[in-house]
Chain A
Amino acid sequence: MSVENAPVVDVDEAAIPVEKKMYYRFESNDKKEFRVSELAIQQSETLNRLVEAMGYTSEDVENKPAIAIENIDGKTLKLVFQWCEHHKGEAIPVDDGSVPKIVEIPEFDAKLMDIDNGLLFKLIWAADYLNIVQLLNVSCKKVANMAQGKTPAQLRRVYLLPSDEEDEAAKRAAQEAQDPRAREVEEEFEERKRQGGNSFF
């Protein structure tokens, strides 16, 4: 099944599915609405628990407002639900961590994740937030694959890794933001040193 054909339905664009299965309605933080099958939702531990707790009937799903997912935008949520629909019914992998992890990225997932790094970043966040184990696995694998054959200098660019100096500066800035007086004290100390004072006090 291609990415384009994945059965996520935007309410305003597509017809309501004819199947009798229950389709839940979700709304992204930019007010995009999606219908997602009950089976697809099982891929997300977070959403699965949520809908179980709500105990909606078919009528509730239609009559009550869509379930809001506050911190994920429509573009990202569409990818998430496309993935869930494509992989619905599949077992959720369990990893005991005792052997080196070998994650294969299926063709569908590879196409789905053929996106810019900004959107990939949001997709990973969403997979984590919604606790979709296998989507998190494949998206992290995509990020890990970026390291293949890269030197440390190239890795710094690929993963936007700050240098030690940048880390130090960021740490200082964070400390100062927490305690504005610290900066004043440091400046005063530097000024006294310039003036040749031996003691700060």
Chain B
Amino acid sequence: MGLPVFSLPQLILQEIIRQLLPGELVCFSLCSRKSYNAVRLLRNKNIKWEFVVSPGTSARISFWFNEGYIKSNLMGADDIFDAPRNCQIIKIKGNSVPYSMDWYHNLRTFWDDEKHGMRAITEYCSELFDNMDVHTLLPDGPSLLWSLNWVTNRQVTPLENIQLSGDTREIGGREFDRFLREVKVTNDLTICWKPPPNFTFTGRLPRCQNINIRKASWLTIDNLLTMDSVVAHIIGSRLRISQINQFLRAWLNGQCAPRLKFLEIRITGVAMANQYLEGIRERAVLEDGILTFYW
């Protein structure tokens, strides 16, 4: 015998709903109009979930809490060809689609057009959770530009974070150039993908709090000089020592990167600190064995 939750007083139902994980709330909301309204009305609205959308192959949407300290998948949109036999059907944003539950207890829906599916499940979950805006975008290669364009146009609030994650991924030069010119992000931009060897970017890097470039062989001194971030991690750079010295001089003289507070540049090969710090070493104060620069 089941347990009739709608026969319980509303405060108890609220307590039960508050103890359901976000993915379970989505399943509960899909049971009926009444259950949908119950989730909308009774869920805990004080929790600041971050709405994370990962379009592409095995597209899914999830909630993160505290920058991913807690992660909870909401649902996914997959290719109709991946649908198991005898799937049941569910109605999402006017579409009747097959669905199943995977081994990790994630709800998967199956679509003829995965892009459309991704948009539909995102809109469904956004509405369910009080028109929550997408907070973080984690696209794969093929979904990069359309998903960026779609998310940017669907909401007024700018995206907080974009992560092009996966160290082995490559990206076409034209596509990457367009991405760097179009992307608008307020907090964190992480780029792990590798553009073609001859790629250079002639524009300005997007303005954001933290920029993290893992395969930075394409980064030029001009990109660095025009960068506007608070924290920058540049890994795998091919900048010459003289260029890094040029940047450090300009930075300390207040001629570039006015908001920058922390910079990490990793290059391949060996270099002596004296070469980097030529002409600026005298501005450093030795404090507890650490050279500290003030400007």
Known: A143-B16, A152-B31. A159 touches B4 (CB 8 A): yes
Closest chain B residue to A167 by CB distance? B34
Say yes or no: is B44 at the interface (Cβ < 8 Å to chain A): yes
Partner of B44, one of A97, A146, A160, A161: A97
Contact at A103–B24, with CB atoms within 8 Å? no
Contact at A101–B4, with CB atoms within 8 Å? no
**What A residues does B46 contact at CB under 8 A?**
96-98
Say yes or no: is A118 at the interface (Cβ < 8 Å to chain B): yes
Contact at A150–B3, with CB atoms within 8 Å? no
Interface centre among A118, A136, A147, by most B CB within 10 Å? A147
Contact at B33–A164, with CB atoms within 8 Å? yes
Known: A140-B12, A158-B2, A160-B5. A99 touches B65 (CB 8 A): yes
| Interface residues on chain B, number (Cβ under 8 Å) | 39
With A and B bound together, what is the CA distance between A104 and B148 in angstroms? 40
With A and B bound together, what is the CA distance between A163 and B30 in angstroms? 11
Contact at B31–A140, with CB atoms within 8 Å? no
Please choose the segment from A33-41, A46-54, A79-87, A121-129 that sits at the chain B interface, where 4 or more of its residues have CB less than 8 A away. Answer: A121-129
**What A residues does B8 contact at CB under 8 A?**
121, 124-125
Say yes or no: is A197 at the interface (Cβ < 8 Å to chain B): no
Say yes or no: is B1 at the interface (Cβ < 8 Å to chain A): yes
Say yes or no: is A88 at the interface (Cβ < 8 Å to chain B): no
**What A residues does B70 contact at CB under 8 A?**
100
Say yes or no: is B15 at the interface (Cβ < 8 Å to chain A): yes
Say yes or no: is B212 at the interface (Cβ < 8 Å to chain A): no
Known: A151-B101, A151-B107. A164 touches B15 (CB 8 A): no
Interface of B is mostly: mixed
With A and B bound together, what is the CA distance between A136 and B14 in angstroms? 12
With A and B bound together, what is the CA distance between A44 and B167 in angstroms? 56
With A and B bound together, what is the CA distance between A95 and B28 in angstroms? 24
Contact at A144–B3, with CB atoms within 8 Å? no
With A and B bound together, what is the CA distance between A189 and B281 in angstroms? 94
Contact at B27–A152, with CB atoms within 8 Å? yes
Say yes or no: is B19 at the interface (Cβ < 8 Å to chain A): yes
Closest chain A residue to B65 by CB distance? A100
Say yes or no: is B88 at the interface (Cβ < 8 Å to chain A): yes
**What B residues does A97 contact at CB under 8 A?**
18, 44, 46-47
Closest chain B residue to A145 by CB distance? B19
Partner of A161, one of B11, B35, B99: B35
Closest chain B CB from A141 CB (angstroms): 5
Contact at B105–A149, with CB atoms within 8 Å? yes
Say yes or no: is B32 at the interface (Cβ < 8 Å to chain A): yes
Closest chain A CB from B267 CB (angstroms): 41
**What A residues does B16 contact at CB under 8 A?**
140, 143-144
**What A residues does B99 contact at CB under 8 A?**
151-152
**What A residues does B3 contact at CB under 8 A?**
117, 120-121, 143, 146, 158-160
**What A residues does B33 contact at CB under 8 A?**
164, 167
**What A residues does B221 contact at CB under 8 A?**
none
With A and B bound together, what is the CA distance between A103 and B44 in angstroms? 15
Closest chain A CB from B44 CB (angstroms): 5
Say yes or no: is B90 at the interface (Cβ < 8 Å to chain A): yes
Closest chain A residue to B4 by CB distance? A160
Interface residues of A (CB under 8 A from B): 96-101, 103, 116-118, 120-121, 124-125, 128, 136-137, 140-141, 143-144, 146-153, 155-164, 167
Q: Can you name 20 extra interface pairs (CB under 8 A) apart from A96-B46, A151-B27, A159-B5? A: A100-B65, A101-B18, A101-B19, A103-B19, A136-B12, A140-B19, A141-B19, A144-B24, A157-B2, A158-B2, A159-B31, A160-B3, A160-B4, A160-B6, A161-B34, A162-B6, A163-B32, A164-B32, A164-B34, A167-B33
